[in-house]
Structures are given as C-alpha cells and as structure tokens.
Amino acid sequence: MTSLCAPTPVTTNLERRFITSVCESRGVATEVGMVAFDPSTCDCYMLQYPDTPLYVRTMQQLNIYTSNQTLIPDTSDNNKIDMFIKENTGSAPLFVPRKFYNDMSGLQYVRQYGIKMKGNTMNLESKYYCLSALSALFKTLEEHNEVFFASHTIRFQYRVCEDVMMLDYNVSRDLELVKSLDSKNGISLYSMLNKCYTGMGRRLLRMMILQPSKDPMWINGRLNCLEDLLMNQEQFNFVNEALNGMIDIDKLIGAFIKKDKRNSVKQAERNINNLLMLKSFLVQIFNLSHLLQGCNLNIDLENILNNLKTDNLKDLYEIINGIVNEEVRFERGGINARNQRVYAIKAGNNGLLDVARIAYKEITDDVYNLIKKYSEEFGIELKINFSFNCYQISVPLRYEKENIPDLFLNFQKKKKEFICTTIELIKLNERINESLNEIYLISNQIISQVFEQVYKYIEDLYLVSESIAIIDTLQSLANYAISNDCVRPNFCNILALKDCKHPLKSYSNPLFIPNQVYANDNLNFHIITGPNMSGKSTYIRQIALLQILSQIGSFVPCKSAHFKIMDKIFTRLCNDDNSKSNTSTFMMEMTETSFILENLSENSLIIMDELGRGTSLRDGTAIAFSICNHLIKKRCFSFFVTHFLQVAESLSLYPNVNSFHLKSQLTENNSFKFYYEMQMGLNELKDYGLVLARNCNLPIPLINYSNKVLNIVTQYPFNHLAK
C-alpha cells in the first residue's frame, strides 16, 4: 500500500490534497458518512447526510475536498460507489477491510486525538456512518502507514451540508469557480479573487467559493467586516503589511502533532526548523496585533482580532525563548539556515551539545583555513562555495582548467566560475556531517520536551489560524472590491442587478458592457434569444457568478445589487461528448437535466444554454418546451438561452415569463455588429446562422446553395429537396 500521509515540508505551497473515507448505509434510503483528512495540516472534516442513488452529495463533497485517495469498505454493494468515485475523481478508491469501519472505534479516536476546545459541542454519538468512516481512515494511517498523533491535538470539525449552497461538479466546471476551462491563459473565480498572503487564507477562500453560505447573518457579518476595511484605508494597509510573508501555521501545527517514533537525523532537523518557525510566527502575530491596536473596528472584526491578543501566546513565546537563543531566526536555506539549527538551543542546556558545537566550529574553521592555504600555495583566487549541504571550492573562469592542479576534483562549470573539491575537503565535509548529526539528535531530545509544552497551546494556535485566515480572505476580497468598482449586495426576495458585469470577463476587459437583471416570484422564468456570439452565454454565467460572490460575503461589480439567497445553483452549459463513458451530447444533456429537475427547489437558480440542440430539430423543440414549462411552474429563478424561436414565442404567453435578446445589428456589408446589451422582446434577426457562416469564409457557391435550400424548406417539406 502506498503512503497516504507522507511528510511534506511546511514551507511548500502545494495544492491541498485530502485523504477521504466513505461509509454508506444499507437499504433503500442511502445515508452517507464521509471524513476528509488533510495530511499536511491535520485538519479533519466530518460529514453525514442523506444522498441520492447517484451519490450527488458525495460527489459534490469529493469535489470540495480534493481527494488524493478515497477509502471505501471492501464489501461495498456491487461496487456502485466505486464506479462513481472513479468517474468523478479520476482515480480508483482504495478498498480497506470492513472491520476497520466501527463507529465506537471512531468515537474513541475523536476522544483520544480531538482537541478539547471550549464550547465544543459536537454530538457525534448518533453519527454512526461518519464515525465508521473516521475509524477506517485512522486505522489505515496507523496500521499501514505507521502515522500517529499527539493526544488532544487534532481539530475535528463536523460540517452540516444544509448550511451551505449546493454546487455540484458541473457548476464548478461550467462557471470556472476554481479551475479555468482555458488551462493556459484563462482565469477562474478563485484565481481572480486570490490576493491572499497566507496558505490559511487561500484554503479558506477556496472553501468559501465551493460552499457559499445560506446564512444571512453570516453573510452580512462578513460584509460588515469588509465594509469596515474598505472605509479605513490605513487599517487596510496595516493588515496587508502584517500578513505579507506570514508562516503557514496550519501546516506547522500538522508537523508538530505527528508522532514519528523514529529518532532520525532528518526528523530532528525538521523538528528544529519547526520550532524556529513557530517562534517566528508568534513574532509575526504580535506585530499584527500591535499594528491593529487602536484601530476603529466594528464588532465583527473586533471579535475576529481578539483571538490574536491572548496572553497564552505570550506564555508560549516565553517557553520557547527559554530554550532557543533569542537572536536565532528561521532561515529558508543555505549555510545560514544550517547555522541557525546548530545554534538554536541555548548553551548550557546540555554539555554534550556544547562539546559537539565546539567540534563543529573547529572543523568549519579548518575548511576556511584549507581554502586559504590552497589559494596561497597555488597562487589562485579561490572562494568558498556552499551548496548541496557541503562546502566546495569556487574558481573563477579566467583560470584555465588545464592549469589548475590535479588535486582539484569533480569540476562543474557555472556561469562565472568552476565548482570543484578535493579529497581533503571531502573528508572535512564528512566530519562536519558527523558533528551535525550529533548536534541535531541531542537538540531534538531537548526540543521534544518543548513540544510537550506546545501541545497545551494548540487550541490557541488553531484560533489564531482561523482568525488569520478570515482576515486574509477579507483583505483579498477588499482588494477585489477596490479594483473593480464594486458595491455591497443587499438581500431580499428579488434578484435586481443594475449595470452588472461578468466578474471574470470584466476583470480582463475594462470595456466590458454592463447589463441589467431582474427576477422575482411573479417573473421567474427568463428566455434569451439572439445570434451566436451576441453574449447570451456570458450573460447567464455572470448571473450565477454574481450570486456566488454575494453569498461568500463579497462586494459585486454592479451599480446596485439585490439578491435572493439561493440554496442551489444548477447549470446546463457544456455540450461536449463524454468519450470516457461513451455518452453522446444529447445523453449528457438529458442526464444532467434529469438531475436538475429532481433536485431543484423554489430557492434554486438555474441557467441553461441551448438545451435540446444535440438531437433533431423537432425532438429538441418538444423537449426544450416541456422542460421550460416544468421550470415555469416550479417558480425557481431560471435563465434559458435558446435558438428555438417557436419555443420562445410560445412561452412568452405565460405571465411569469420574461423574453429578451442581446442587441445586434446586420450591417451593410452583410456582417453582424454586436452591442452586448439586453433588450426586451424576442430576437427579430433572421438567418443569422448563414450570415455567420459567410463571415467564416465558407465558399460563396456553398452559401448561395444554402440560401436556396433554406427557401425550399421554409415553403415545403424536406422531401422537396431531392426534386
């Protein structure tokens, strides 16, 4: 079995990857328990929810908690869930013994590893499937990967799916929420909003985009904080200054609480680095708290910042300072980083450590003396080079390699120098490494005792991490609001947007044409017509994106904005065949539409683009009309783009249907001019497909023949074409 929890350096900024575990009930009604564990931060998210036979919610959660590996029981019924996981994640799940799935064992893990936070009221005893999934995940980590954790250090978080908007994988893909459809030059909503300085902020921002809130109190609380930052420019600048370069405390906590039973030199080196990073992080927190002291803050922002002012953090800093030299700081590489590790622990804590450091210094001095001796003896200008964790000799390129004495070995040509070594220098490097190993192992024994003290302050570090993440996402959203002339959204029972812009298109195009949007319970279905390339798809996408922006607590690019809080967004935009599942365009359309119709509610937002074009004209028209008729009766807010004018004309008779088109004009040279402005009524331009075909340089005789065919089929049935 491959390692599920390989150690990653705290300083790396890799894409977040979870290990997930799934357990489902047996019977007709499917109840699913799921656990997502991040090996780098040791965050553990727990969920339990009713699901459909197609595992809609489970696939949604696997999209949110991007899975590196998913565990399922080796007795899963007919491997049905196995198939869905393969299709949606692209990798096969890992089958683990059914005996690993035990709810009582899962509850024991929560009690053993879970942090004892104040006010922690997780009632997990009745969450059988969630606890069973947790048990399987931790048993796998322990038995197959030998990964253990310090007691009462893991932050278990139970998530309630009903508190957030439902966005399935199709919505995430179609709206480019976290990944652009253009892998080379495109931008996603996440990449556009992401001006975060910290890993904590980036992870929270991604989670917010994929799980917008449905709670108006939470949304307005975030908007109040954002408004406060925007109104106080000095405070905004202080926040940016303090967050820049801040250490990722989540990953640092994850590194602290993993118990490695091997006392290896590499592990010792990591532990020293982690302690120095924690010291540096605490200094950064004190600086942030000091910078914001005296700022006029609203109560929501004040409550967030209060977690940074705890005296417990000062006590923790004093504990670390009692062991670590005051002038030692964390360095990210090179000889300075090595020396910081060597002299991290104060002298006098351990006699053997002091002796080892004296030996290290003497051997290092021998290296410098040796290089000086070579330089004087051979009359060559030599310098010391430190790379690949060892000392080497640097020789300027002006010296010919053939004229350099034979005792210099292993030449490597760089831009302005040769890098080489000697047998004597290699031996000194080996002695230095032996001395370093001794220093690291002795230092690690002292640091291990400090770690036991750090565990008592894990709760405070988690609270600080949470506050930093919120502050960082707020400044990122504030940055977006300032750059894009945004306004604060209001929430009521209508959707009314004045001069609204597509967040992604307007970001890269300052000349983007704004438009209007209006919908209420008595005008809930909107049918949009117009030529190809007139901006119909962009228009409906921008509505969904603005809805998501408003419900993550962001300002929106409009002159004024009123939103109805939605519980679900559904999209039917992509029209490609799925070669993997051997599914045609039309089959994909019908499958996804069926899912939408089964799961929508009155508080859903639905956007559909050219539904029914994947089949014959008659069948497509009939199906499109029937689906529209169904949506009209459901009273959800729907925006439907179509080229089927018969459908649009028939539906415009309903009192709660609004018909409009995107303005365009046929010019004198027989080409289209697009205005990208919404106008009431149906599109009146005829034969725009043939006009666009001519503009794409199809042969003129072919276009003329197409016009003849069009005239025939307009007046007579298709069988007249043969005549």
The single-letter DSSP state of residue 117 is: -
Q: Which pLDDT does position 4 carry in this prediction?
A: 60
> If residue 276 lies in a helix (H) or strand (E), which one and from where to where?
helix 265-291
Q: Give 120's pLDDT tier (boundaries 50, 70, 90).
A: very low
Residue type, 642: T
Give the CA angle between residues 458, 146, 110 to the nearest 5°: 45
- In 3-state terms the chain splits into helix, strand, coil percentages (rounded to 5) of 50, 20, 30
Whether residue 524 contacts residue 605, with contact meaning beta carbons closer than 8 Å, is answered with no
The single-letter DSSP state of residue 14 is: P
Q: Which pLDDT does position 14 carry in this prediction?
A: 42
Q: Which pLDDT does position 580 carry in this prediction?
A: 46
Alpha-carbon distance of 295 to 238, in angstroms, equals 10
Q: Which pLDDT does position 33 carry in this prediction?
A: 92
Which of helix, strand or coil describes residue 641? strand
Task: Tell me which of 84-93, 524-533, 589-598 is least confident.
Answer: 84-93
Q: Which pLDDT does position 637 carry in this prediction?
A: 95
Average pLDDT over residues 447-472: 90
pLDDT tens digits, 399-431: 888 888 889 998 888 888 889 999 999 999 999
pLDDT at 498 over 90: yes
Q: Give 56's pLDDT tier (boundaries 50, 70, 90).
A: confident
Q: Which pLDDT does position 121 carry in this prediction?
A: 45
pLDDT tens digits, 199-253: 999 999 999 999 999 999 999 999 998 998 888 877 788 788 888 889 999 999 9
Structure tokens at 95: 């089958």
CA distances from 480 to 35, 556, 562 (A): 33, 9, 19
Structure tokens at 16: 């977040």
pLDDT at 536 over 90: no
Whether residue 403 contacts residue 395, with contact meaning beta carbons closer than 8 Å, is answered with no
Higher-scoring residue by pLDDT: 84, 671? 84
pLDDT at 547 over 90: yes
Higher-scoring residue by pLDDT: 642, 558? 558
Q: Which pLDDT does position 404 carry in this prediction?
A: 86
Alpha-carbon distance of 57 to 176, in angstroms, equals 20
pLDDT at 689 over 80: no
Task: Tell me which of 4-18, 62-76, 601-615 is least confident.
Answer: 4-18
The mean pLDDT value of the chain amounts to 84
Q: Which pLDDT does position 474 carry in this prediction?
A: 92
Q: Which pLDDT does position 583 carry in this prediction?
A: 54
Q: Give 673's pLDDT tier (boundaries 50, 70, 90).
A: confident
Q: Which pLDDT does position 579 carry in this prediction?
A: 41
pLDDT tens digits, 138-184: 999 988 878 889 999 999 999 887 788 988 888 888 899 998 888 77
Higher-scoring residue by pLDDT: 560, 263? 560
Question: Of 328-337, 599-608, 676-685, which one has max mean pLDDT?
Answer: 599-608
pLDDT at 3 over 60: no
Task: Give the domains, in start order, of the chain with CATH numbers.
Answer: 18-163 (3.30.420.110), 189-345+453-482 (1.10.1420.10), 351-439 (1.10.1420.10), 497-685 (3.40.50.300)
Alpha-carbon distance of 319 to 299, in angstroms, equals 32
- Strands lying side by side in the sheet with 409-413: 383-387, 390-396, 417-421, 409-413
Q: Which pLDDT does position 512 carry in this prediction?
A: 87
Q: Crossing angle, helix 249-257 and helix 458-483, to 10 degrees?
A: 160
Q: Give 79's pLDDT tier (boundaries 50, 70, 90).
A: low
Q: Which pLDDT does position 12 carry in this prediction?
A: 41
Alpha-carbon distance of 398 to 72, in angstroms, equals 64
* Residues of the chain above pLDDT 90, percent: 41
Higher-scoring residue by pLDDT: 310, 451? 451
Whether residue 70 contacts residue 93, with contact meaning beta carbons closer than 8 Å, is answered with yes
**Other Cβ atoms within 10 Å of 346 Cβ, number:** 17
* Length of the chain in terms of residues written: 723
Average pLDDT over residues 51-70: 84
pLDDT at 699 over 80: no
Q: Give 646's pLDDT tier (boundaries 50, 70, 90).
A: confident
